[in-house]
Amino acid sequence: MKIQRITYLSLGTNQGDRIENLQNAIQSIDDHIGVVEKISAIYKTPSWGFEGHDFFNICIEVTTHLLPEILLSSLLEIENKLGRVRSSNEGYENRKIDIDILLIADAVIFSKKLIVPHSKMLGRRFVMAPLAEIAPMMIHPIAKKQIALCLQNCDDTSEISIINKKLQKPFPVS
């Protein structure tokens, strides 16, 4: 029997049709990872750590049976199929799609390829605001605090605003 885990992902884009990029990523995640249960509003934020176009960021809740390492490699495949190009340059850069694993239930994972909870999530308002919208009562497994409280304690003062567009949850195929 496969164990289903509630997993929270952060999605971001600042190239091309950003709404379409997010919607395509949601559909691919639903097709290949698991059921997309919740989708946050779209948050617009300035680029982080480099000069570039504004990002559209969301968080989603997914129910998946994939093991963490397989989840990670599947998400990287989705990024590649959707046009993510990784350069050898260090630092942040423009991207068509970026998908990060934030939380996998209450798991704490430290491996060479994967760290869960995401090591930088608590310091990023563009991650914490959409996550607090869809999972305010979820407990961060290391901070031992609710996500809503973690957002209140976030030191990031970046500008953030909600876009007046909605992304669609994929419909289950019978």
Which tens digits make up the pLDDT trace of 90-134?
Answer: 656 778 899 999 999 999 999 999 999 999 999 999 999 999 999
- 99's enclosing H/E stretch is strand 98-104
> Among candidates 111, 112, 131, 113, which has minimal Cα distance to 121?
131
What is the radius of gyration, based on Cα positions, of the chain?
Answer: 15
* b/e code 24-46 from CB counts within 10 Å (16+ = b): bbbbbbbeebbebeebbbbbbbe
3-class secondary structure, 66: coil
3-class secondary structure, 156: coil
3-class secondary structure, 159: coil
CA gap 61, 78 in Å, rounded = 17
List pLDDT tens digits, range 28-40: 999 999 999 999 9
Identify the sign of the CA torsion 142, 35, 23, 21: positive
CA gap 138, 90 in Å, rounded = 33
pTM of the full structure: 0.93
List pLDDT tens digits, range 9-19: 999 999 999 99
